[in-house]
Structure 1
Amino acid sequence: MYKIRKAEKLADKIYLMDVEAPRVARHCEPGQFVIVKLDEKGERIPLTICDYDREEGTITIVFQTVGASTEKFAALKAGDAFQDFTGPLGCPSELVHEDIESLKQKKILFVGGGVGSAPVYPQVKWLKEHGVDADVIIGAKTKDMLILEDEMKAVSGNYYPCTDDGTYGHAGMVTSMIEELVNGGNKYDLCVAIGPVIMMKFTCLLTKKLEIPTVVSMNPIMVDGTGMCGACRLHVGDEIKFACVDGPEFDGHLVNFDEAMKRQQMYKTQEGRAMLKLQEGDTHHGGCGNCGGDE
Protein backbone atom coordinates (compact mmCIF):
# COMPACT_ATOMS: atom_id res chain seq x y z
CA MET A 1 0.00 0.00 0.00
CA TYR A 2 1.13 3.54 -0.78
CA LYS A 3 0.22 5.98 1.97
CA ILE A 4 -1.03 9.46 1.15
CA ARG A 5 0.87 12.03 3.21
CA LYS A 6 -0.97 15.11 1.97
CA ALA A 7 -4.23 15.65 0.13
CA GLU A 8 -5.16 19.13 -1.02
CA LYS A 9 -7.79 20.67 -3.30
CA LEU A 10 -6.08 23.18 -5.61
CA ALA A 11 -9.09 24.37 -7.62
CA ASP A 12 -12.51 23.20 -8.71
CA LYS A 13 -12.13 19.47 -9.51
CA ILE A 14 -8.32 19.63 -9.29
CA TYR A 15 -6.46 17.88 -6.47
CA LEU A 16 -2.86 17.42 -5.31
CA MET A 17 -1.49 14.51 -3.29
CA ASP A 18 1.90 13.58 -1.86
CA VAL A 19 2.25 9.80 -1.87
CA GLU A 20 4.85 7.60 -0.17
CA ALA A 21 6.56 5.72 -3.01
CA PRO A 22 10.31 5.53 -2.23
CA ARG A 23 11.31 3.36 -5.19
CA VAL A 24 9.55 5.60 -7.69
CA ALA A 25 11.02 8.70 -6.07
CA ARG A 26 14.55 7.28 -6.27
CA HIS A 27 14.40 6.64 -9.99
CA CYS A 28 11.97 9.12 -11.58
CA GLU A 29 12.90 12.05 -13.79
CA PRO A 30 10.87 15.04 -15.07
CA GLY A 31 8.51 14.06 -17.86
CA GLN A 32 7.71 10.57 -16.59
CA PHE A 33 4.43 9.26 -15.19
CA VAL A 34 2.96 6.71 -12.79
CA ILE A 35 -0.07 4.41 -12.93
CA VAL A 36 -2.25 4.68 -9.84
CA LYS A 37 -4.86 2.15 -8.74
CA LEU A 38 -7.07 2.67 -5.71
CA ASP A 39 -7.92 -0.96 -4.86
CA GLU A 40 -8.15 -4.48 -6.27
CA LYS A 41 -11.05 -3.59 -8.60
CA GLY A 42 -9.95 -0.04 -9.29
CA GLU A 43 -9.20 1.47 -12.68
CA ARG A 44 -5.59 2.03 -13.73
CA ILE A 45 -5.07 5.80 -14.03
CA PRO A 46 -1.89 7.20 -15.67
CA LEU A 47 -0.81 10.46 -14.02
CA THR A 48 2.21 12.61 -14.80
CA ILE A 49 4.64 13.12 -11.93
CA CYS A 50 4.28 16.71 -10.70
CA ASP A 51 7.15 16.63 -8.20
CA TYR A 52 9.29 14.24 -6.21
CA ASP A 53 11.40 14.22 -3.07
CA ARG A 54 14.07 11.52 -3.12
CA GLU A 55 15.00 12.02 0.56
CA GLU A 56 11.41 11.85 1.80
CA GLY A 57 10.55 9.10 -0.69
CA THR A 58 7.44 10.88 -1.94
CA ILE A 59 5.84 11.57 -5.30
CA THR A 60 3.45 14.47 -5.92
CA ILE A 61 0.53 13.86 -8.27
CA VAL A 62 -2.08 16.31 -9.52
CA PHE A 63 -5.31 15.14 -11.11
CA GLN A 64 -8.65 16.44 -12.30
CA THR A 65 -11.87 14.56 -11.58
CA VAL A 66 -13.30 13.36 -14.88
CA GLY A 67 -14.89 10.02 -13.96
CA ALA A 68 -15.78 7.59 -11.19
CA SER A 69 -12.19 6.58 -10.38
CA THR A 70 -10.83 10.10 -10.02
CA GLU A 71 -13.91 11.06 -7.97
CA LYS A 72 -12.95 8.25 -5.58
CA PHE A 73 -9.37 9.56 -5.55
CA ALA A 74 -10.67 13.02 -4.60
CA ALA A 75 -12.43 11.61 -1.54
CA LEU A 76 -9.17 10.27 -0.09
CA LYS A 77 -7.49 12.02 2.82
CA ALA A 78 -4.03 12.07 4.36
CA GLY A 79 -3.48 8.67 5.95
CA ASP A 80 -5.44 6.78 3.30
CA ALA A 81 -3.56 4.73 0.72
CA PHE A 82 -3.49 3.53 -2.88
CA GLN A 83 -3.09 -0.18 -3.51
CA ASP A 84 -0.86 0.26 -6.56
CA PHE A 85 1.48 3.10 -7.51
CA THR A 86 3.58 1.91 -10.44
CA GLY A 87 6.45 3.79 -12.03
CA PRO A 88 8.38 5.60 -13.17
CA LEU A 89 7.02 4.95 -16.67
CA GLY A 90 7.57 6.61 -20.01
CA CYS A 91 10.67 8.41 -21.21
CA PRO A 92 12.11 11.35 -19.25
CA SER A 93 12.19 14.80 -20.80
CA GLU A 94 14.97 15.06 -23.38
CA LEU A 95 16.22 18.12 -21.49
CA VAL A 96 17.63 15.97 -18.67
CA HIS A 97 19.95 14.26 -21.16
CA GLU A 98 21.30 17.44 -22.72
CA ASP A 99 24.57 19.09 -21.81
CA ILE A 100 23.89 21.61 -19.05
CA GLU A 101 26.27 24.23 -20.42
CA SER A 102 24.52 24.00 -23.81
CA LEU A 103 21.13 24.37 -22.11
CA LYS A 104 22.32 27.53 -20.38
CA GLN A 105 22.85 29.07 -23.81
CA LYS A 106 19.27 28.36 -24.89
CA LYS A 107 16.13 30.36 -24.29
CA ILE A 108 13.33 27.94 -23.46
CA LEU A 109 9.60 28.62 -23.28
CA PHE A 110 7.13 26.37 -21.48
CA VAL A 111 3.43 26.60 -22.26
CA GLY A 112 0.91 24.88 -19.99
CA GLY A 113 -2.85 24.67 -20.06
CA GLY A 114 -5.07 23.77 -17.11
CA VAL A 115 -3.78 20.67 -15.32
CA GLY A 116 -0.86 20.77 -17.77
CA SER A 117 0.79 23.06 -15.23
CA ALA A 118 1.55 19.95 -13.16
CA PRO A 119 3.90 18.23 -15.65
CA VAL A 120 5.41 21.59 -16.66
CA TYR A 121 6.51 22.30 -13.10
CA PRO A 122 9.07 19.46 -12.55
CA GLN A 123 10.84 20.26 -15.82
CA VAL A 124 11.13 23.97 -15.04
CA LYS A 125 12.21 23.14 -11.47
CA TRP A 126 14.87 20.74 -12.76
CA LEU A 127 16.22 23.42 -15.09
CA LYS A 128 16.29 25.97 -12.26
CA GLU A 129 18.25 23.55 -10.07
CA HIS A 130 20.82 23.27 -12.86
CA GLY A 131 21.15 27.02 -13.38
CA VAL A 132 18.82 27.36 -16.38
CA ASP A 133 15.98 29.91 -16.34
CA ALA A 134 12.95 29.31 -18.54
CA ASP A 135 9.95 31.47 -19.35
CA VAL A 136 6.56 29.95 -18.48
CA ILE A 137 3.11 30.70 -19.87
CA ILE A 138 0.18 29.07 -18.07
CA GLY A 139 -3.40 29.38 -19.29
CA ALA A 140 -6.74 28.72 -17.61
CA LYS A 141 -10.35 29.74 -18.06
CA THR A 142 -10.36 31.88 -14.92
CA LYS A 143 -7.94 32.94 -12.18
CA ASP A 144 -9.45 30.38 -9.81
CA MET A 145 -8.44 27.59 -12.20
CA LEU A 146 -4.74 28.51 -12.21
CA ILE A 147 -2.74 26.10 -10.06
CA LEU A 148 0.78 25.97 -8.59
CA GLU A 149 1.30 29.70 -9.15
CA ASP A 150 3.65 30.30 -6.22
CA GLU A 151 5.67 27.20 -7.08
CA MET A 152 5.93 28.20 -10.74
CA LYS A 153 6.98 31.76 -9.93
CA ALA A 154 9.75 30.41 -7.70
CA VAL A 155 11.38 28.32 -10.45
CA SER A 156 10.71 30.22 -13.68
CA GLY A 157 12.67 33.07 -15.18
CA ASN A 158 9.46 34.87 -16.12
CA TYR A 159 5.93 33.70 -15.37
CA TYR A 160 3.00 34.75 -17.57
CA PRO A 161 -0.49 33.71 -16.41
CA CYS A 162 -3.30 33.89 -18.97
CA THR A 163 -7.05 33.77 -18.41
CA ASP A 164 -9.73 33.29 -21.03
CA ASP A 165 -12.04 35.74 -19.25
CA GLY A 166 -9.30 38.37 -18.98
CA THR A 167 -9.74 38.96 -15.25
CA TYR A 168 -6.15 38.08 -14.37
CA GLY A 169 -2.82 38.22 -16.14
CA HIS A 170 -2.85 38.22 -19.92
CA ALA A 171 -6.35 38.39 -21.39
CA GLY A 172 -6.69 35.60 -23.93
CA MET A 173 -5.28 32.29 -25.04
CA VAL A 174 -1.71 31.14 -24.46
CA THR A 175 -1.04 31.49 -28.20
CA SER A 176 -1.66 35.24 -28.12
CA MET A 177 0.79 35.49 -25.20
CA ILE A 178 3.41 33.63 -27.25
CA GLU A 179 2.90 36.08 -30.12
CA GLU A 180 3.16 39.04 -27.75
CA LEU A 181 6.47 37.80 -26.33
CA VAL A 182 7.96 37.06 -29.75
CA ASN A 183 6.78 40.38 -31.18
CA GLY A 184 8.37 42.00 -28.15
CA GLY A 185 11.77 40.73 -29.18
CA ASN A 186 12.03 37.39 -27.37
CA LYS A 187 13.71 34.68 -29.42
CA TYR A 188 13.15 31.14 -28.23
CA ASP A 189 15.25 28.10 -29.11
CA LEU A 190 12.68 25.62 -27.83
CA CYS A 191 9.05 25.51 -26.73
CA VAL A 192 7.60 22.76 -24.52
CA ALA A 193 3.79 22.67 -24.58
CA ILE A 194 1.74 20.51 -22.20
CA GLY A 195 -2.01 20.63 -21.77
CA PRO A 196 -5.26 19.79 -23.58
CA VAL A 197 -4.67 18.30 -27.02
CA ILE A 198 -6.45 21.18 -28.76
CA MET A 199 -4.22 23.70 -26.95
CA MET A 200 -1.08 21.83 -27.99
CA LYS A 201 -2.31 21.67 -31.58
CA PHE A 202 -2.79 25.42 -31.92
CA THR A 203 0.43 26.14 -30.03
CA CYS A 204 2.29 23.98 -32.54
CA LEU A 205 0.60 25.63 -35.52
CA LEU A 206 1.86 28.97 -34.22
CA THR A 207 5.37 27.86 -33.23
CA LYS A 208 5.84 26.18 -36.60
CA LYS A 209 5.05 29.50 -38.27
CA LEU A 210 7.44 31.22 -35.86
CA GLU A 211 10.08 28.54 -36.51
CA ILE A 212 10.38 27.55 -32.84
CA PRO A 213 11.09 23.81 -32.33
CA THR A 214 8.35 22.46 -30.07
CA VAL A 215 7.96 19.41 -27.84
CA VAL A 216 4.52 18.27 -26.67
CA SER A 217 3.40 15.70 -24.08
CA MET A 218 0.70 13.32 -25.32
CA ASN A 219 -0.10 12.12 -21.81
CA PRO A 220 -3.78 13.24 -22.18
CA ILE A 221 -4.53 10.45 -24.67
CA MET A 222 -3.15 7.60 -22.53
CA VAL A 223 -5.43 4.97 -20.96
CA ASP A 224 -3.64 1.74 -20.01
CA GLY A 225 -0.12 3.19 -19.86
CA THR A 226 1.73 0.05 -20.99
CA GLY A 227 1.43 0.07 -24.80
CA MET A 228 -1.10 -2.77 -24.73
CA CYS A 229 -4.51 -1.13 -25.16
CA GLY A 230 -3.67 1.05 -28.16
CA ALA A 231 -5.54 4.12 -26.93
CA CYS A 232 -2.50 6.37 -27.31
CA ARG A 233 -1.51 5.23 -30.81
CA LEU A 234 -0.63 8.22 -32.96
CA HIS A 235 1.27 9.24 -36.06
CA VAL A 236 4.45 11.24 -35.49
CA GLY A 237 5.62 12.11 -38.98
CA ASP A 238 5.52 8.85 -40.96
CA GLU A 239 5.94 6.67 -37.86
CA ILE A 240 3.36 5.07 -35.59
CA LYS A 241 4.11 5.70 -31.92
CA PHE A 242 2.46 4.94 -28.58
CA ALA A 243 2.51 7.84 -26.13
CA CYS A 244 2.97 5.68 -23.05
CA VAL A 245 6.03 3.69 -24.17
CA ASP A 246 7.59 5.86 -26.90
CA GLY A 247 6.79 9.16 -25.18
CA PRO A 248 4.93 10.84 -23.68
CA GLU A 249 6.93 13.67 -25.32
CA PHE A 250 7.25 14.07 -29.09
CA ASP A 251 8.15 16.63 -31.74
CA GLY A 252 4.96 18.68 -31.79
CA HIS A 253 5.44 19.73 -35.41
CA LEU A 254 5.26 16.07 -36.47
CA VAL A 255 2.28 14.95 -34.36
CA ASN A 256 -0.98 14.40 -36.24
CA PHE A 257 -3.25 16.11 -33.70
CA ASP A 258 -6.42 15.83 -35.77
CA GLU A 259 -6.04 12.07 -36.01
CA ALA A 260 -5.22 11.80 -32.30
CA MET A 261 -8.33 13.76 -31.30
CA LYS A 262 -10.56 11.74 -33.63
CA ARG A 263 -9.15 8.46 -32.25
CA GLN A 264 -9.61 9.72 -28.71
CA GLN A 265 -13.34 10.21 -29.32
CA MET A 266 -13.79 6.88 -31.12
CA TYR A 267 -11.89 4.97 -28.44
CA LYS A 268 -14.49 5.88 -25.81
CA THR A 269 -17.02 3.40 -27.22
CA GLN A 270 -16.76 -0.35 -27.78
CA GLU A 271 -18.04 0.08 -31.33
CA GLY A 272 -15.42 2.74 -31.97
CA ARG A 273 -12.61 0.53 -30.62
CA ALA A 274 -13.74 -2.33 -32.85
CA MET A 275 -13.73 -0.03 -35.89
CA LEU A 276 -10.22 1.18 -35.06
CA LYS A 277 -9.06 -2.41 -34.74
CA LEU A 278 -10.48 -3.17 -38.20
CA GLN A 279 -8.89 -0.08 -39.75
CA GLU A 280 -5.49 -0.36 -38.07
CA GLY A 281 -4.92 -4.10 -38.02
CA ASP A 282 -1.69 -5.22 -36.36
CA THR A 283 -0.69 -1.65 -35.53
CA HIS A 284 -3.77 -1.09 -33.35
CA HIS A 285 -2.26 -2.37 -30.11
CA GLY A 286 -0.22 -5.17 -28.59
CA GLY A 287 -3.17 -7.55 -28.40
CA CYS A 288 -4.06 -7.32 -24.72
CA GLY A 289 -7.57 -8.66 -25.35
CA ASN A 290 -8.92 -6.53 -22.52
CA CYS A 291 -9.86 -3.22 -24.10
CA GLY A 292 -12.66 -4.43 -26.36
CA GLY A 293 -10.75 -3.54 -29.48
CA ASP A 294 -10.48 -7.19 -30.49
CA GLU A 295 -14.24 -7.68 -30.64
Structure 2
Amino acid sequence: MYTILEKRKLNDAVELLVVHAPYVARKCEPGQFVMVRVEEGGERIPLTIADYDRERQSVTIIYQIVGYSTTRLAEKAVGEGISDFAGPLGRPADIHPGKKRILGIGGGVGAAPLYPQLRKWKETGAEVDVILGGRSKDLIILEQEFEAFCGQLYMATNDGSCGIQGFVTDILKQLLHNGHVYDEVIAIGPLPMMKAVVDITKPLGIPTGVSLNPIMIDGTGMCGGCRVTVGEETRFACVDGPDFDGLLVDFDECIRRQGMYKEMEAHACRIGRGA
Protein backbone atom coordinates (compact mmCIF):
# COMPACT_ATOMS: atom_id res chain seq x y z
CA MET A 1 0.00 0.00 0.00
CA TYR A 2 1.08 3.58 -0.68
CA THR A 3 0.20 5.98 2.11
CA ILE A 4 -1.41 9.36 1.49
CA LEU A 5 0.69 12.00 3.28
CA GLU A 6 -1.25 15.12 2.31
CA LYS A 7 -4.52 15.94 0.63
CA ARG A 8 -5.70 19.31 -0.62
CA LYS A 9 -8.79 20.37 -2.53
CA LEU A 10 -7.85 22.81 -5.29
CA ASN A 11 -11.44 23.41 -6.38
CA ASP A 12 -14.75 21.57 -6.39
CA ALA A 13 -13.55 19.07 -9.00
CA VAL A 14 -9.77 18.90 -8.60
CA GLU A 15 -7.70 17.49 -5.74
CA LEU A 16 -4.01 17.18 -4.88
CA LEU A 17 -2.51 14.16 -3.15
CA VAL A 18 1.01 13.70 -1.82
CA VAL A 19 1.77 9.99 -1.72
CA HIS A 20 4.64 8.13 -0.07
CA ALA A 21 6.20 6.25 -3.00
CA PRO A 22 9.96 5.84 -2.44
CA TYR A 23 10.93 4.12 -5.69
CA VAL A 24 8.91 6.46 -7.90
CA ALA A 25 10.21 9.54 -6.08
CA ARG A 26 13.81 8.36 -6.51
CA LYS A 27 13.57 7.85 -10.27
CA CYS A 28 10.87 10.15 -11.70
CA GLU A 29 11.42 13.19 -13.92
CA PRO A 30 9.09 15.90 -15.30
CA GLY A 31 6.81 14.55 -18.00
CA GLN A 32 6.42 11.07 -16.56
CA PHE A 33 3.33 9.50 -15.01
CA VAL A 34 2.14 6.73 -12.69
CA MET A 35 -0.52 4.05 -13.07
CA VAL A 36 -2.76 4.17 -10.01
CA ARG A 37 -5.13 1.50 -8.79
CA VAL A 38 -7.15 2.83 -5.88
CA GLU A 39 -8.19 -0.55 -4.53
CA GLU A 40 -7.59 -4.23 -5.19
CA GLY A 41 -9.54 -5.28 -8.27
CA GLY A 42 -10.04 -1.69 -9.45
CA GLU A 43 -9.14 -0.21 -12.82
CA ARG A 44 -5.76 1.29 -13.56
CA ILE A 45 -5.74 5.00 -14.31
CA PRO A 46 -2.79 7.09 -15.58
CA LEU A 47 -2.03 10.23 -13.56
CA THR A 48 0.77 12.65 -14.36
CA ILE A 49 3.44 13.37 -11.77
CA ALA A 50 2.87 16.99 -10.75
CA ASP A 51 5.77 17.17 -8.30
CA TYR A 52 8.15 15.01 -6.30
CA ASP A 53 10.41 15.22 -3.27
CA ARG A 54 13.30 12.78 -3.31
CA GLU A 55 14.27 13.38 0.31
CA ARG A 56 10.73 12.92 1.57
CA GLN A 57 10.23 9.99 -0.83
CA SER A 58 6.94 11.47 -1.96
CA VAL A 59 5.16 12.07 -5.26
CA THR A 60 2.40 14.61 -5.88
CA ILE A 61 -0.50 13.85 -8.17
CA ILE A 62 -3.35 16.15 -9.16
CA TYR A 63 -6.55 14.70 -10.57
CA GLN A 64 -9.98 15.79 -11.68
CA ILE A 65 -12.95 13.88 -10.27
CA VAL A 66 -14.61 12.72 -13.48
CA GLY A 67 -15.26 8.98 -13.22
CA TYR A 68 -15.63 6.02 -10.88
CA SER A 69 -11.95 5.57 -9.97
CA THR A 70 -11.21 9.26 -9.38
CA THR A 71 -14.37 9.43 -7.25
CA ARG A 72 -13.06 6.52 -5.17
CA LEU A 73 -9.68 8.23 -4.93
CA ALA A 74 -11.35 11.41 -3.69
CA GLU A 75 -12.93 9.40 -0.86
CA LYS A 76 -9.51 8.48 0.53
CA ALA A 77 -8.20 10.38 3.57
CA VAL A 78 -4.71 11.26 4.80
CA GLY A 79 -3.14 8.19 6.36
CA GLU A 80 -5.06 5.77 4.17
CA GLY A 81 -3.44 3.75 1.42
CA ILE A 82 -3.65 3.33 -2.33
CA SER A 83 -3.38 -0.22 -3.63
CA ASP A 84 -1.00 0.39 -6.56
CA PHE A 85 1.19 3.32 -7.55
CA ALA A 86 3.34 2.04 -10.42
CA GLY A 87 5.99 4.14 -12.07
CA PRO A 88 7.67 6.19 -13.19
CA LEU A 89 6.29 5.44 -16.63
CA GLY A 90 6.69 7.17 -19.96
CA ARG A 91 9.58 9.18 -21.29
CA PRO A 92 10.80 12.25 -19.39
CA ALA A 93 10.21 15.57 -21.11
CA ASP A 94 13.07 16.64 -23.39
CA ILE A 95 14.50 19.47 -21.29
CA HIS A 96 18.06 20.61 -21.89
CA PRO A 97 20.11 23.83 -21.69
CA GLY A 98 20.30 26.00 -24.76
CA LYS A 99 16.83 27.41 -25.27
CA LYS A 100 16.38 30.97 -24.07
CA ARG A 101 12.62 31.55 -23.94
CA ILE A 102 9.88 29.04 -23.21
CA LEU A 103 6.13 29.65 -23.16
CA GLY A 104 3.96 27.19 -21.24
CA ILE A 105 0.22 27.02 -21.79
CA GLY A 106 -1.91 25.12 -19.28
CA GLY A 107 -5.62 24.46 -19.62
CA GLY A 108 -7.43 23.36 -16.46
CA VAL A 109 -5.70 20.37 -14.83
CA GLY A 110 -3.14 20.53 -17.65
CA ALA A 111 -1.35 23.00 -15.38
CA ALA A 112 -0.33 20.05 -13.18
CA PRO A 113 2.02 18.27 -15.64
CA LEU A 114 3.10 21.65 -17.04
CA TYR A 115 4.38 22.85 -13.66
CA PRO A 116 7.39 20.50 -13.17
CA GLN A 117 8.43 20.91 -16.80
CA LEU A 118 8.51 24.71 -16.69
CA ARG A 119 10.28 24.66 -13.34
CA LYS A 120 13.02 22.47 -14.79
CA TRP A 121 13.27 24.70 -17.88
CA LYS A 122 13.84 27.60 -15.49
CA GLU A 123 16.62 25.64 -13.80
CA THR A 124 18.40 25.31 -17.17
CA GLY A 125 18.56 29.11 -17.38
CA ALA A 126 15.65 29.67 -19.75
CA GLU A 127 13.26 32.59 -19.35
CA VAL A 128 9.81 31.12 -18.75
CA ASP A 129 6.36 32.65 -19.28
CA VAL A 130 3.05 30.88 -18.71
CA ILE A 131 -0.57 31.21 -19.77
CA LEU A 132 -3.20 29.52 -17.60
CA GLY A 133 -6.81 29.09 -18.64
CA GLY A 134 -10.10 27.70 -17.40
CA ARG A 135 -13.83 28.22 -17.60
CA SER A 136 -13.69 30.39 -14.47
CA LYS A 137 -11.26 31.61 -11.79
CA ASP A 138 -12.07 28.64 -9.55
CA LEU A 139 -10.83 26.24 -12.22
CA ILE A 140 -7.37 27.79 -12.56
CA ILE A 141 -4.87 25.91 -10.41
CA LEU A 142 -1.27 26.36 -9.20
CA GLU A 143 -1.25 30.09 -9.87
CA GLN A 144 1.00 30.87 -6.89
CA GLU A 145 3.37 28.01 -7.69
CA PHE A 146 3.94 29.35 -11.22
CA GLU A 147 4.32 32.91 -9.97
CA ALA A 148 7.27 31.78 -7.85
CA PHE A 149 9.54 31.30 -10.87
CA CYS A 150 7.85 32.44 -14.10
CA GLY A 151 8.71 35.77 -15.66
CA GLN A 152 5.19 36.64 -16.81
CA LEU A 153 1.94 34.95 -15.85
CA TYR A 154 -1.12 35.49 -18.04
CA MET A 155 -4.60 34.14 -17.39
CA ALA A 156 -7.75 33.69 -19.42
CA THR A 157 -11.21 32.58 -18.33
CA ASN A 158 -14.33 31.96 -20.34
CA ASP A 159 -16.44 34.10 -18.01
CA GLY A 160 -13.85 36.83 -17.42
CA SER A 161 -13.64 36.16 -13.67
CA CYS A 162 -9.82 36.11 -13.87
CA GLY A 163 -7.47 37.60 -16.44
CA ILE A 164 -8.95 38.31 -19.84
CA GLN A 165 -12.33 37.01 -20.92
CA GLY A 166 -11.56 34.51 -23.62
CA PHE A 167 -9.19 31.64 -24.32
CA VAL A 168 -5.49 30.92 -23.82
CA THR A 169 -5.14 31.15 -27.59
CA ASP A 170 -6.31 34.77 -27.50
CA ILE A 171 -3.34 35.61 -25.27
CA LEU A 172 -0.99 33.54 -27.42
CA LYS A 173 -2.05 35.42 -30.53
CA GLN A 174 -1.58 38.75 -28.79
CA LEU A 175 1.89 37.88 -27.50
CA LEU A 176 3.05 36.78 -30.94
CA HIS A 177 1.43 39.83 -32.56
CA ASN A 178 3.32 42.07 -30.12
CA GLY A 179 6.66 40.57 -31.13
CA HIS A 180 7.30 38.06 -28.37
CA VAL A 181 9.62 35.33 -29.61
CA TYR A 182 9.76 31.88 -28.04
CA ASP A 183 12.13 29.01 -28.77
CA GLU A 184 9.43 26.55 -27.78
CA VAL A 185 5.81 26.45 -26.71
CA ILE A 186 4.57 23.69 -24.39
CA ALA A 187 0.79 23.25 -24.33
CA ILE A 188 -0.92 20.82 -21.95
CA GLY A 189 -4.65 20.61 -21.45
CA PRO A 190 -7.81 19.41 -23.21
CA LEU A 191 -7.23 18.08 -26.71
CA PRO A 192 -9.23 20.88 -28.41
CA MET A 193 -7.09 23.45 -26.59
CA MET A 194 -3.81 21.83 -27.63
CA LYS A 195 -5.06 21.53 -31.20
CA ALA A 196 -6.01 25.24 -31.22
CA VAL A 197 -2.54 26.20 -29.97
CA VAL A 198 -0.87 24.11 -32.68
CA ASP A 199 -3.12 25.69 -35.32
CA ILE A 200 -1.46 28.99 -34.38
CA THR A 201 2.16 27.89 -33.89
CA LYS A 202 2.47 25.43 -36.78
CA PRO A 203 2.16 27.99 -39.61
CA LEU A 204 4.81 30.07 -37.84
CA GLY A 205 7.18 27.13 -37.41
CA ILE A 206 7.33 27.46 -33.62
CA PRO A 207 8.31 24.12 -32.00
CA THR A 208 5.37 23.04 -29.85
CA GLY A 209 5.30 20.19 -27.36
CA VAL A 210 2.05 18.63 -26.17
CA SER A 211 1.22 15.94 -23.63
CA LEU A 212 -1.27 13.24 -24.64
CA ASN A 213 -3.29 11.29 -22.11
CA PRO A 214 -5.42 8.77 -24.02
CA ILE A 215 -7.09 5.76 -22.44
CA MET A 216 -4.50 3.37 -21.01
CA ILE A 217 -4.81 -0.07 -19.45
CA ASP A 218 -1.33 -1.24 -18.47
CA GLY A 219 0.95 1.73 -19.21
CA THR A 220 3.71 -0.51 -20.59
CA GLY A 221 2.88 -0.68 -24.31
CA MET A 222 1.28 -4.15 -24.26
CA CYS A 223 -2.42 -3.34 -24.67
CA GLY A 224 -2.15 -0.82 -27.51
CA GLY A 225 -5.09 1.15 -26.15
CA CYS A 226 -3.19 4.44 -26.01
CA ARG A 227 -2.09 4.46 -29.64
CA VAL A 228 -1.88 7.84 -31.31
CA THR A 229 -0.80 8.94 -34.75
CA VAL A 230 2.25 11.21 -34.81
CA GLY A 231 3.88 12.11 -38.09
CA GLU A 232 1.60 9.58 -39.84
CA GLU A 233 3.08 6.79 -37.71
CA THR A 234 1.49 4.90 -34.83
CA ARG A 235 2.94 5.65 -31.41
CA PHE A 236 1.96 4.57 -27.92
CA ALA A 237 1.53 7.39 -25.43
CA CYS A 238 2.62 5.21 -22.52
CA VAL A 239 6.07 4.25 -23.81
CA ASP A 240 6.76 6.75 -26.63
CA GLY A 241 5.25 9.71 -24.76
CA PRO A 242 3.26 11.14 -23.20
CA ASP A 243 5.02 14.21 -24.65
CA PHE A 244 5.06 14.53 -28.43
CA ASP A 245 5.81 17.04 -31.16
CA GLY A 246 2.46 18.78 -31.37
CA LEU A 247 3.07 19.84 -34.97
CA LEU A 248 2.91 16.15 -35.98
CA VAL A 249 -0.01 14.91 -33.86
CA ASP A 250 -3.29 13.85 -35.49
CA PHE A 251 -5.56 15.64 -33.02
CA ASP A 252 -8.77 14.83 -34.88
CA GLU A 253 -8.13 11.11 -34.39
CA CYS A 254 -7.26 11.62 -30.71
CA ILE A 255 -10.47 13.54 -30.11
CA ARG A 256 -12.59 10.86 -31.81
CA ARG A 257 -11.06 8.07 -29.75
CA GLN A 258 -11.29 9.97 -26.46
CA GLY A 259 -15.06 9.54 -26.25
CA MET A 260 -15.21 5.82 -26.97
CA TYR A 261 -15.87 4.71 -23.39
CA LYS A 262 -17.95 7.57 -22.01
CA GLU A 263 -21.12 5.48 -21.84
CA MET A 264 -19.31 2.64 -20.03
CA GLU A 265 -17.77 5.11 -17.56
CA ALA A 266 -21.18 6.61 -16.80
CA HIS A 267 -22.55 3.10 -16.23
CA ALA A 268 -19.70 2.29 -13.80
CA CYS A 269 -20.40 5.50 -11.86
CA ARG A 270 -24.09 4.59 -11.58
CA ILE A 271 -23.22 1.14 -10.25
CA GLY A 272 -20.74 2.64 -7.80
CA ARG A 273 -23.46 4.90 -6.41
CA GLY A 274 -25.84 1.97 -6.14
CA ALA A 275 -28.13 3.32 -8.87
Same fold (TM > 0.5):
yes
3-state SS of paired residue (2:197): helix
Q: Cα deviations across residues 244-292 of structure 1 (Å, max 9, x unaligned)?
A: 111001111110010111122235578xxxxxxxxxxxxxxxxxxxxxx
For residues 248 and 130 of structure 2, the distance between their equivalents in structure 1, rounded to whole angstroms, comes to: 23
For residues 242 and 236 of structure 1, the distance between their equivalents in structure 2, rounded to whole angstroms, comes to: 10
Q: Confirm whether residue 174 of structure 1 aligns to residue 152 of structure 2.
A: no
Amino acid at match of 2:240: D
Q: Confirm whether residue 155 of structure 1 aligns to residue 149 of structure 2.
A: yes
Q: Confirm whether residue 122 of structure 1 aligns to residue 116 of structure 2.
A: yes
CA drift of 1:130 comes to 3.3
Q: Cα deviations across residues 128-148 of structure 1 (Å, max 9, x unaligned)?
A: 233323111111000011111
3-state SS of paired residue (1:49): strand
CA drift of 1:191 comes to 0.6
Q: Is the 8 A contact 2:157 2:164 kept in 1?
A: yes
Aligned to 1:242: 236
Percent identity over the alignment is: 54
Q: Is the 8 A contact 2:211 2:244 kept in 1?
A: yes
Q: Is the 8 A contact 2:214 2:254 kept in 1?
A: no
Q: Is the 8 A contact 1:162 1:171 kept in 2?
A: yes
Structure 1 range deviating more: 219-228 or 65-74 = 219-228
Please, which runs of 5 or more residues in structure 1 have no aligned partner?
271-295
Change (3 A) 1:174 1:167: same
3-state SS of paired residue (2:18): strand
Aligned to 1:206: 200
Change (3 A) 1:230 1:267: farther
Aligned to 2:18: 18
For residues 10 and 31 of structure 1, the distance between their equivalents in structure 2, rounded to whole angstroms, comes to: 21
Q: Is the 8 A contact 1:197 1:220 kept in 2?
A: no
3-state SS of paired residue (1:263): helix
For residues 223 and 178 of structure 1, the distance between their equivalents in structure 2, rounded to whole angstroms, comes to: 35
Q: Is the 8 A contact 2:107 2:133 kept in 1?
A: yes
For residues 168 and 11 of structure 1, the distance between their equivalents in structure 2, rounded to whole angstroms, comes to: 15
CA drift of 1:83 comes to 1.3
3-state SS of paired residue (1:94): coil
For residues 75 and 241 of structure 1, the distance between their equivalents in structure 2, rounded to whole angstroms, comes to: 35
Name which of 259, 274, 277 aligns with 2:253. 259
Query: Which structure 1 residue ranges, 4+ long, deviate > 6 Å from structure 2?
Result: none
CA drift of 1:210 comes to 2.7
For residues 77 and 254 of structure 2, the distance between their equivalents in structure 1, rounded to whole angstroms, comes to: 35
TM-score scaled to structure 2, two decimals? 0.92
For residues 166 and 49 of structure 2, the distance between their equivalents in structure 1, rounded to whole angstroms, comes to: 28
Aligned to 2:82: 82
Q: Is the 8 A contact 1:193 1:215 kept in 2?
A: yes
CA drift of 1:185 comes to 1.5
Q: Cα deviations across residues 27-63 of structure 1 (Å, max 9, x unaligned)?
A: 1000000011112111111000000001110000000
Amino acid at match of 2:107: G
Aligned to 1:293: none
Aligned residue runs from structure 1 range 27-46, under 5 A: 27-46=27-46
Q: Is the 8 A contact 1:231 1:267 kept in 2?
A: no
Q: Is the 8 A contact 2:157 2:166 kept in 1?
A: yes
For residues 56 and 131 of structure 1, the distance between their equivalents in structure 2, rounded to whole angstroms, comes to: 26
Structure 1 range deviating more: 260-269 or 135-144 = 260-269
The alignment covers a number of residue pairs equal to: 264
Amino acid at match of 2:82: F
Change (3 A) 1:248 1:151: same
